[in-house]
Amino acid sequence: MGCSNSSSPAYGEMSWFCCGSSWGPCGSAGGGACGTCNSGSHQCAWPNTSDACFNITRPDQCGEGLARRTCGHVFYVTSVCSGKCVSVSIADCGPDTNSFCGERSCCGSTCYTNRIIDLTPSAYSAIADLSTGLSPARIDS
């Protein structure tokens, strides 16, 4: 599999988060649920990495049937705005999908709902501008 070519992609909002050693308000972010998270690596946080993770993020409460994917699983994330794609491996649990149920991001007339993935700054900046906080994305497994 690869960018934009799986039969059952997920569509939703992506954002970015810092983890590992960092500065500023990110300073205490730590290595994430998998213990390997690092802002400089192409990694992501996924809301369904374990039962404990799912119980916190509860994407199902927003109508999202996101599959269980564990630490190290690889996703291909394509920015709807730029068309650029990056491969990332799961390193943390998140985002907290059910805190933002119904939230929507658009690129032109293409809008996707619910926050379903967070990328590290290195991964996000490869496909979008960090100064955009939220962006619609397609996620292939």
Partner 1 sequence: MPQPDRRRFLTSAVLGGSAVAGATALGSLAPEAAFAAAPKIKLDPGALDPNFAEGRITGISGSLLKASGSDRTLHRIHITDGTSIWKLHPTTFDQIKVGDGFYARGVRLPDGSLAADAIWVNIVNLDASIAAIETARLHLDHNGKRVIGHVVGGRTAAVYGSAPAVADLTRLQVGRHVKVIGAWRPDTNEVDIATVYSGA
Partner 2 sequence: MVEWPASVQPLFVGATLLWSGGVKCAGASARRAAQRSALRSLVGEARAPIAHRLVGAAELALAAALLLPPVYAGEAVAAAVLATGFLAYLAYARVVAPDSSCGCMSARPMPVTWRGFARAALILAAALLGTRAGPWWDAATGHPWAAGTTLLGEAAALVALSPEADRRWLYPLRRLRVRLRHPLADRSFDMPLESSLQQLLGSTAYRQVSGLLRSGLRETWDEEDVRVLCYTAEYEGRLATAVFAVPLRHYRPEEIRVALVDESAESTLLVLDGA
Q: Which residues are at the interface with partner 2 (CB under 8 A)?
A: 28, 30, 52, 55-56, 58, 81-84, 106-110, 129-132
Give the nearer residue to partner 2 in terms of CB position, either 9 or 30. 30
- In the list partner 2, partner 1, none, the entry touching 3 (Cβ below 5 to 8 angstroms by class) is partner 1
CB of residue 46 to partner 1, shortest distance in Å:
13
Q: Which two tokens stand for residue 19?
A: 């983890």
Between 8 and 28, CB nearer to partner 1: 28
Tell which residue, 31, 70, 64, has the closest CA to residue 51.
70
With binding defined as CB under 8 A, does residue 99 bind partner 1? yes
107 binds, among partner 2, partner 1, none (CB under 5 to 8 A by kind): partner 2
Q: Does 95 bind partner 1 (CB under 8 A)?
A: yes
* Residue (8 or 51) nearer to partner 2, CB: 51
Residue 98 contacts partner 1 per CB under 8 A = no
- What, of partner 2, partner 1, none, does residue 114 touch, CB below 5 to 8 Å by kind? none
**Under DSSP, is residue 139 helix (H, G, I), strand (E, B) or coil?**
strand
Nearest to 87 by CA among 59, 113, 122, 111: 122
- Give the pair of three-digit tokens for residue 2: 């690869």
Q: DSSP letters along 76-92, please?
A: EEEETTT--EEEEEEEE
Q: Which residue has the tokens 């397609």?
A: 138
Candidates 65, 52, 38, 56; CA nearest to 99 is 56
